[in-house]
Chains A and B, each alone.
Chain A
Amino acid sequence: MEKGEVLINHYGPLSYEEIGFLLNKMTSLLERYNFGITIRKKVYSAMVESLENIYKHQDIIRDSNNYQPKFSLTLENDKIDLSCSNSLLKAKVVPLKERLEKVNQLDKVGLKEFYKEVILRGNVTQKGGAGLGIINIAKVTENKLEFTFDDIDEQYTYFTLRIKVSLQNQNN
């Protein structure tokens, strides 16, 4: 396998059907590379949660073709990288950043406890979010999440989340 091979690259609006299409594409590509069910399920979970986060939480800038949702899946020697970006109202940055920083501080046991706390307390929002997506990504991938917020204008920011699924010590 080549280093840094981009398996999927998406830029543009993301419908629910499009998410399904990207997931099917990922599944057949990883099957072609003979990855086992454990790796495929980890990538699948991380991809569902990150793409559904974009679908549910993005704030679309109507009059711009820039800063559309972006997703890529890259195969490296020792890991699979997922990168996803979307525009977001700046008002949402603080709670999102707090949650990301919190999950990055927790170990496996801590993440499990945090997941339990949110699932038992949490309410589902009108958009169907249960506040569990980011915790689930961290729990499943067992790696720290990288993120950036890049200024677009006074009102909006462009949020990027980078997720790593390790290939070492896995039966793939």
Chain B
Amino acid sequence: MSTLTLREAPPERLDLTGLDPARLAGLSEAEAARLAVGTSRRGLTLGDCFAISLDGSDCLRILGATDRLDRVGAGLAAGRIVVEGDVGQRLGAGMRGGTLTVSGSAGPFAGTAATGGTIRIAGDAAGSAGGAVHGAAAGLDGATLVIGGSAGDRLGDRMRAGLIVAKRAGVHAGARMIAGTIVADEIGDYPGYGMRRGTLVAARHGALLPTFVETGRQDLVVLRLLAKSLQALAPEAAALLRAPLRRYSGDLATLGKGELFAPVG
């Protein structure tokens, strides 16, 4: 297992785009130390900030991470990255495969535009986790994002495909969703604002938009499939999907093919 150990809190934000096991496997430690990670005119390199130990394996550990590390795992296509600590914004942006695990919390836009693979955040995620960055066509786009703690506002904003599981989320979860699935224990007010398609499932939710209408209780086969697919990944979310659920259809202010499921009673 290759390891990058942060020596001390960096003096500026660092951009770790492309620092994945496959790329590092082709480099010596001296070559890796010369990779640029700084975001200012200071010209910081990987070796300036991290103690580097490479063994060519498909697993990379980043130790002592802080929220100044941006774009960790961005573009990851295969292999595994394990982060001990927190990370900054755009964790796993554009990721295509592999697994990315963070023991702490993540900054905004975690998983944005990620088309494959699995991202697990043990702690909290800031706003727009799985959401589109400003001006982008889509947020999460096929990957799986699991947030063990709370997600901020606009969870899955403009997500296009994939799955998000979170403990809690703030307001406007699933806003502008193009498609995909979000399952959370609790979500804030106005979920699914402007959603075109997609599925929101929440054990508890805040105020609903007037453009969501209740369609009653149906034992839909798709919920069984979702529950089965979630069983290994998030058993509590799977249990929620197996409970009797009431369905709301929306956002009827737009295409209206989205839906929100909440427990009956």
A binds B: no
